[in-house]
Structure 1
């Protein structure tokens, strides 16, 4: 990769100091003075960069690796080239994430679009009744509504809209073009470009003259350290609240409907749709493009494979996949049977053509 002007390299940190901060073990103490400036993938890592591997499947990529250091489990040391210093870690993926935060702190939250001459742009509109703590940054064309409250260290990017009486905690980032209404937001929350928080949920009742709109008077409550991806939508509750638990990370283009409750430290990949009044436990992982039916319960620690259709309750700790979603062993067995029948039909067609 050419020089990256968007996220330039770190001024440099010694490998010894980096190992200490990551809680990793430096195998060769003589390599401790090597300077690390950036992260990189294994196959094209260069001097001054650090990378990581998780299995022996990375052996071929290591053939072109010129990194100054690599993070890996001790069991993989034998496949690492001699010129690459090794940092032993029982969780190399997590350690690499920590290294990225140390070396590229500016990439950990959306950056401002403009270079502000003042913390609050004169081209932003801020209602006189809004309350801003010190050190809030607000870019041009952002709108802060009546009675809104924003905590110190929070960044409101260009064109974002913060509705009336919305409360946003400290150290948050609301990226360009996002809109937030009817919401209470904790500390350290990141909401990416174009996300929509707090709009009407989809609620209608059939009537003699067509569909009648059901009033939506709930809120969205987003707890601390949640991250919500670009163009994701989180509807406010109907007569209850939509809640997203502490530490949960939601990808781009996800739909969270009204009254949904998502637990703590969940991971929800792109394209997922969660229908109304579903309750999701703590530590749940949902693969991309899955659909979650409304009014069901998904237990703590559940894992749902990508492109699944979840139509009923899922017990805690289960691994589900498929359409309709079912225990993973059943899904894989059914998939194997389908593939076998498909192969048999293809073979018969081939024989008939002969």
Structure 2
């Protein structure tokens, strides 16, 4: 069986063109005409690949690499490379430069493509007669599009996706296989990876004489332009106000966003984060994986929350917090250090409480 190649290589770029694209410097003695058509790790690169070195942990891989071109961060600008490497580029920010190269060489990897490889509306899809689809919309087999749905041109609706009545989806969006949307408004260039669920009612109950009684959730989900949401994440619709995700925000896989949550622009929320109802996440916030955010709290603009933290109170803008419960990183580290020292003293004194 031939090897599977999901992202075929194109004509590539000359090293000189890569330098122009990334504003990197070409190190003396490099072959700026060397052609590069792929990106790879140092250990797996071949003579038509570019690989990045930005961490001393990979020095052994650098010394044995077969890459055609090496991209170095400026702090390693004078680091020696094997003679077989045709060219060396030095960039102020190697990570950003490497990402730009990848986007240019493999544009098809930027957003999901149609699974069925079609550019039309499948006869196996169910589309209500009152739905409005602009020209250029792709709908794959077994997708269901309900009454009064509107979808903009260039959008792909994946196999088995369900778009409930009244939803609005902008242009050039990617609605992955098995996505379920209800009570939702999406802007342009939104990417929902397979299994995303948005618009279902939030978790709301009151205690009544016969047990738990359900409270209605009559808000919407509003997802603004250029948002990307990872596989199997869930976004509850608002109870009495909208759940909002601001433009340019990126959300990882398996994230839970509760009702009435407002997330600002250009936020980063990593896998397995849970955000409880009515929390406010302001612009530019970064939340590490497996963290929890309590309901009705506000995380200020530009704040950073460390992974596996529990936020149970408001966080100031541009603060760096972590721990359980979350607190300023310096205080958290001080407490961790103190506990380690106390444990060490206990062991050295011969005490054993086990």
Global fold match (TM > 0.5): yes
TM-score (norm 1): 0.94
Q: Name the SS of the counterpart of 1:47 in structure 2.
A: coil
Q: Name the SS of the counterpart of 1:253 in structure 2.
A: coil
Aligned to 2:262: 261
Aligned residues of 2:140 and 2:157 also touching (Cα < 8 A):
yes
Are 1:214 and 2:218 matched, yes or no? no
Partners of 2:280 and 2:190 in 1: CA distance: 21
Q: Name the SS of the counterpart of 1:199 in structure 2.
A: coil
Q: Name the SS of the counterpart of 2:243 in structure 1.
A: strand
Are 1:98 and 2:88 matched, yes or no? no
Aligned to 2:112: 110
Aligned residues of 1:43 and 1:63 also touching (Cα < 8 A):
no
Q: Shift in Å at residue 236 of structure 1?
A: 0.5
Partners of 2:121 and 2:26 in 1: CA distance: 45
Show CA shifts across 1:268-324 (max 9, x none).
Answer: 000100001111111111000000001011001101000000000000010000000
Number of aligned residues: 350
Aligned to 2:182: 181
Aligned residues of 1:56 and 1:79 also touching (Cα < 8 A):
no
Are 1:76 and 2:76 matched, yes or no? yes
Aligned to 1:123: 124
Aligned to 1:246: 247
Partners of 2:300 and 2:266 in 1: CA distance: 13
Change (3 A) 1:128 1:20: same
Partners of 2:16 and 2:162 in 1: CA distance: 45
Aligned to 1:47: 47
Q: Name the SS of the counterpart of 1:11 in structure 2.
A: coil
Aligned to 1:13: 13
Stretch of structure 1 that moved more, 27-36 or 274-283: 27-36
Aligned to 1:38: 38
Aligned residues of 1:156 and 1:174 also touching (Cα < 8 A):
yes
Show CA shifts across 1:68-97 (max 9, x none).
Answer: 122223331222405432222212111111
Aligned residues of 1:71 and 1:86 also touching (Cα < 8 A):
yes
Q: Shift in Å at residue 47 of structure 1?
A: 1.2
Aligned residues of 2:53 and 2:62 also touching (Cα < 8 A):
no
TM-score (norm 2): 0.94
Are 1:228 and 2:223 matched, yes or no? no
Between Structure 1 and Structure 2, the one with more helix by share is 1
Partners of 1:335 and 1:314 in 2: CA distance: 20
Aligned residues of 1:59 and 1:79 also touching (Cα < 8 A):
no
Are 1:293 and 2:286 matched, yes or no? no
Partners of 1:250 and 1:350 in 2: CA distance: 47
Aligned residues of 2:74 and 2:93 also touching (Cα < 8 A):
no
Partners of 1:222 and 1:102 in 2: CA distance: 27
Q: Shift in Å at residue 9 of structure 1?
A: 2.6
Q: Name the SS of the counterpart of 2:78 in structure 1.
A: helix
Aligned to 1:323: 324
The answer for unaligned runs of 5 or more in structure 1 is none
Q: Shift in Å at residue 35 of structure 1?
A: 1.4
Partners of 1:121 and 1:206 in 2: CA distance: 47
